[in-house]
Chains A and B, each alone.
Chain A
Amino acid sequence: MIVRGNFDNTLRLVRLILRRERLSSTIWIVILTAFSIVLAPGMHEMFSDMETRTQIASIYDNPIMVAMMGPVYGLDNFTTGAMYGGMMLLWVAIAVGVMNIFLVTRHTRADEERGQSEVVRSLPVGRLANINAVMIAAVIINGVLALLIGLGLAVCGVDGMGFGGSMLYGALVGAVGLVFAAITALCCQLFASSAGATGMAMGFLGLAYMIRAAGDAQGNDLIACFSPFGLAQRAQVYVNNYVWPLLLLLVAAGVIAAVAYKLNSIRDLGQGFIAAKPGRKEAGRLLRSPLGLATRLLSKTVIIWVVVMLMLGASYGSVIGDIGTFVGDSPEYLQVIGIPAEIVNTMTEADKSKIIVDYFAAFITIMMTLVCIVPILLAATKVRAEEREGRSEHILSRVVSRPSYLAGYVAIAFVASVLIQFATATGLYLATNAMAENNPFTFGGLLTSFFAYLPAIWVLIGIAVLLVGLFPKASAAIWAVYGFVAFTSFIGGMLKLPEWVNWLSPMYHVPRLPMEDMTFVPLVVMTVIALVLTVAGFVFYQKRDMVAA
C-alpha cells in the first residue's frame, strides 16, 4: 500500500546526508579517482611496448590468475587500455562496493540503532523518505565518482583509452557501486543491527567475487554474469566497449532497491525481518582463560591472513614458471628481483631461467614475509590496545598474573608467524605444482626458505613486546621499525645504502634461499636476541603501571 506522503521531505534528507558525507565520501572519491587516474599513464610507462604487454598478458592468462582477476580481453591488440581494463576494473569495483556498503548502512540501520531515525520520523517526513534519500545520495555520490574517473581517464588519453571507453569504465564502476548500495539497503531491512546488515552485505560482496571466480575459472560467461563484477568485466572495456552490461547493472540495482523499498514500507522502525540471533548465553570452555580470550580476539584476524596469504602465494606461484620470459631481457627487472650485476653479465643462456626463477622465488619470499609481519605485529601489540581500551584491568583485577596475561597474546603472535609463513609456502607450492610440468621447487625447499625468515620475524615480535613493556604509550613505534625493515628489504639494495644500515634490519641476516646456502648461525643468534627482547618486555610489563588511553 502506498500511503500519500510516503516520500515527503526526501530532498531535505538528501541534503542532510550529503552534508554528513562531505568528509568521508569525499575522501573515498578523491582516493579512488586519484588511484584510477594515476595508474593509467603509470602502467603505460611501465609497459610501453605492445610486446611486453602481450607477454605479461600471456603470463597471467592462466586459470589461476583468471579466476583471481577475471578474463583477459583483446589479446590480439593488447593496448594499455585493454590491460588497464582487465587488471583494474575488478579491484576498483570491489573498493566502490565496500564504500557503498558503509555509506548505506551508515544512514539507515546505524541511524536507526542510535535512535536518530526516530527523531527524524517524528517530523513531517515520509515513511520511505529516508531510504529514498539514501538511494538518491548514493546515485549522486556514485555518479560523481563515475564522472570523475571517466573524465580523468579520458583526459589522460593513454594508448587505447578513448573518451567513450573511459566514460564506460567510470560508469561501470559507479553502476557496480549502485548495485551494492541497493543490496545493502535490502540487507538493512532484513537485519535489525547495523553490524548484521554490514556483515551480510559484505558476505554478498564476497559471494559476488566467488561466483565470478567460479565462472571465469571454467570459462563460463553466464555464471560469471550473475556477479556484478563478472558482468562489469563482460563490457570488455577499452576493447569492445559493450554497453549492455552497464544497462543490466543499473536494472539490477533498480529491482533490488524496489524490493528494499517495499520491505521498508511494511516493517516497524527498529525491527528487521530476520530476528537477531541470540548469542551464546554462557562462555564455552575455551574462552574461560586469558589465553582463551586472546585466542578469541585474534583468531579471526589470523585465519583471514592465512587464507589471504595462501591465495597470494598461489597467485605468485602461478606466474613464477613463466617469469624468465617476462623479465629475461630487462636488466632493470633483474636488478629489482635482486640479481647482482656480475651474475647478470656472466650467466649463460642455459642456466639463465633457473637463476631467474631462484632469485624471483627469493624475492617474493621476502616480499610476502613483509606482508605476513603485519598481522603478527598486530597480534603482538594487541595487549596494548586492550590496555588502552581499559579492558586489561578486568582481567588483571582477577586472579591472573601479568606474565600469564601477556603470554597469551605473545604466544599467538609466535604461533601465527609459523602458520602464516606455512600458508604462504603452501599456496606457492600448490600453484607451481599445478602450473608447471616439472615443478622447479620442492615443498620442503620452499618451506625452508620461508621458515628461515621466522627468527627475523621473532626479533620484530621481541621489539614489539619490549615496546609494550617499556614504552606503552609509544608502542606504535613498532610500525616505524617495520617501515624501516620493509624499506631496506625493498629497495635497500638498489639505493646503495651504507652496508651498516641494511645490517640493522633482521631480514638482512637471513640466507637468501635457494641461491645461498643455509647458514644456521645468524638464525640461532636472532632467535636468542628475539627471546632476550621478549623476556625483557615481560620483565618491564610486570613492573609498570597500566595506562589507559
Chain B
Amino acid sequence: MSELSLETVNLSKRFGKFTALNDINLKVAEGEVFGYIGPNGAGKTTTIRVLLGILQASEGTAKVFGMDAWKDAVEIHKRLAYVPGDVNLWPNLTGGEVIDLFVSLRGKHDKKRRKELLEAFDLDPSKKCRTYSKGNRQKVALVAALASDADLYILDEPTSGLDPLMEQVFQAAVLDLKKQGKGIFLSSHIMSEVEKLCDRIAIIKEGTIVETGTLDEMRHLTRMSMTIKTEAPIKGLEKVKGVYEITEHQGGTTFQVDSDAVGEVVSFIGKFGVKKLESTPPTLEDLFMRHYNTAGGA
C-alpha cells in the first residue's frame, strides 16, 4: 500500500456534551480521490476542521502526511489546499485581491495558472466581494486553491453554489489533479459528482462512519434493483432469501435483491422462463438513502 496522505484513528470531537464526531477512522492513500459524504450536520465539516488544525481532537489522532494535524498545522498546510463549504469573504476586497492574498499565504505564485482558472471559471476578479453571489465566492476560493501547487486538496462541498456548467469545469479540474497524482478529499452530498470522481468513499452519519470502501465494495453490501418478466407467473419469490419489496406491475415484477443473493435469485426465476430481465446497480443515491432512512427500507 502506498503512503497515507491522511489518517484518523478513533477520532472523536465533542463540543460540551454534544458529540460531533465519534471514533472516526479514515485512511486516505497518497494520490487517492476520497469522497466523504453525509447530510448537513453529520460532521463532515467538523472532520475537515480537525484535519486542518482549526479544531483540536477530543480523543484519538488525526494525521496528515504523517504529521499531527493540530501540532504541525503550519507545516502540513505547506502541502495542502482547502476550499471551505461556506465561503465568507471581505466585502471591501476584490476577488482578485483575495485570490492573490490566499495564494501568497502559501508561497509560490503561478500567474499563468491563475489566469487560466479565472477564465475557466468565468470569474471577474475586479469586483468587490460584496457583489459576488454564493457561487462566485466559491469560485474565488476554488481558484485560490487550484492555483496553489499542493499534494492534498481538501474540498468541502465545493460545488454547492455552482451551476451545472461550472460543476463540469470543476470536475475537469479535479480529474486533471487526479491525473497528476494529487490527493483529493472531497466532501459532498452531490452523488453523481462523487460517483464520477472518487476512488473510495466514506459515509458519515451523525458523527459516525457507517460505511467505507470503494464503490464496488459497497455494492457487494447493498441491494440492486431487478425487473423481470416471465412466461409463467412467478410464485414463491418472496420466500427466496435476500429478496425484498416485490411489486407487480404492467411491465412485470420489480424487486430489490441483496448483491450476494443474485445468483440464487437468477437460478430461481429461470424456472419460470425469463422473457425480460433488467437490473440496475445501486447508485450512491441509493446507498445514501438506505443509510439515512433509519427504517432501513428501500
- B residues near A279, Cβ cutoff 8 Å: 94, 96-97, 126-128
Out of A278, A296, A401, which one reaches B74, CB within 8 Å? A401
CB distance A545 to B96 under 8 Å?
A: no
**Given the known A-B contacts A391-B90, A393-B84, A545-B54, are A282 and B105 also in contact in the complex, defined by CB atoms under 8 Å?**
no
- A residues near B100, Cβ cutoff 8 Å: 282-283, 287-288
- A279, A390, A393 pick with most chain B CB within 10 angstroms: A279
CB distance B97 to A280 under 8 Å?
A: yes
CB distance B90 to A283 under 8 Å?
A: no
- A residues near B86, Cβ cutoff 8 Å: 390
CB 8 Å contact bits of A258-291 with B (1 = contact, 0 = none): 0000000000000000000011111110011110
- A residues near B89, Cβ cutoff 8 Å: 391, 394
Verify if B172 is at the interface (C-beta below 8 Å from A).
no
Verify if B107 is at the interface (C-beta below 8 Å from A).
yes
- A residues near B74, Cβ cutoff 8 Å: 399-401
Closest beta carbon of chain A to B95's beta carbon, Å: 8
- The residue on B at minimum CB distance from A391 is B88
Verify if B190 is at the interface (C-beta below 8 Å from A).
no
Verify if A396 is at the interface (C-beta below 8 Å from B).
yes
**Given the known A-B contacts A193-B131, A283-B104, A396-B54, are A390 and B88 also in contact in the complex, defined by CB atoms under 8 Å?**
yes
Verify if B106 is at the interface (C-beta below 8 Å from A).
yes
- A residues near B65, Cβ cutoff 8 Å: none
Q: How large is the interface on B (under 10, 10 to 19, 20 to 34, 35 or more residues)?
A: 35 or more
CB distance A293 to B126 under 8 Å?
A: no
**Given the known A-B contacts A390-B86, A394-B102, are A281 and B126 also in contact in the complex, defined by CB atoms under 8 Å?**
yes
Closest beta carbon of chain A to B20's beta carbon, Å: 11
CB distance A281 to B125 under 8 Å?
A: yes
CB distance B77 to A397 under 8 Å?
A: yes
CB distance A546 to B102 under 8 Å?
A: no
- A284, A288, A399, A543 pick with most chain B CB within 10 angstroms: A399
Q: How large is the interface on A (under 10, 10 to 19, 20 to 34, 35 or more residues)?
A: 20 to 34
CB distance B106 to A282 under 8 Å?
A: no
Out of A195, A393, A398, A401, which one reaches B106, CB within 8 Å? A398
Verify if A16 is at the interface (C-beta below 8 Å from B).
no
Verify if A297 is at the interface (C-beta below 8 Å from B).
yes
**Given the known A-B contacts A288-B101, A545-B55, are A282 and B77 also in contact in the complex, defined by CB atoms under 8 Å?**
no
- B residues near A45, Cβ cutoff 8 Å: none
CB 8 Å contact bits of B257-283 with A (1 = contact, 0 = none): 000000000000000000000000000
Verify if A118 is at the interface (C-beta below 8 Å from B).
no
Closest beta carbon of chain B to A384's beta carbon, Å: 15
CB 8 Å contact bits of A140-153 with B (1 = contact, 0 = none): 00000000000000
CA distance A391 to B87 in the complex (A): 8
Docked complex: B56-101 residues within 8 A CB-CB of A? 56, 73-74, 77-78, 80, 82, 84, 86, 88-90, 93-94, 96-101
Verify if B49 is at the interface (C-beta below 8 Å from A).
yes
- B residues near A284, Cβ cutoff 8 Å: 97
CB distance B96 to A283 under 8 Å?
A: yes
CB distance A297 to B90 under 8 Å?
A: yes
CA distance A283 to B56 in the complex (A): 32
Q: Which residues of B are in contact with A by a Cβ distance under 8 Å?
A: 49, 52-56, 73-74, 77-78, 80, 82, 84, 86, 88-90, 93-94, 96-102, 104-107, 124-128, 130-131, 141
Q: Which residues of A are in contact with B by a Cβ distance under 8 Å?
A: 193, 195, 278-284, 287-290, 292-293, 296-297, 389-391, 393-401, 543-546
Given contacts A278-B127, A390-B86, A546-B49, could you give 16 more A-B pairs where the C-beta distance is less than 8 Å?
A193-B131, A195-B130, A278-B124, A279-B96, A279-B127, A284-B97, A288-B100, A288-B105, A289-B104, A296-B93, A396-B52, A397-B80, A398-B82, A398-B102, A398-B106, A399-B78
Question: Can you list 21 A-B pairs, Cβ within 8 angstroms, ordered by A?
Answer: A278-B127, A279-B94, A279-B97, A279-B127, A280-B97, A280-B126, A283-B99, A292-B101, A293-B90, A391-B89, A391-B90, A393-B52, A393-B54, A393-B84, A394-B84, A397-B54, A397-B77, A397-B82, A399-B78, A401-B73, A545-B54
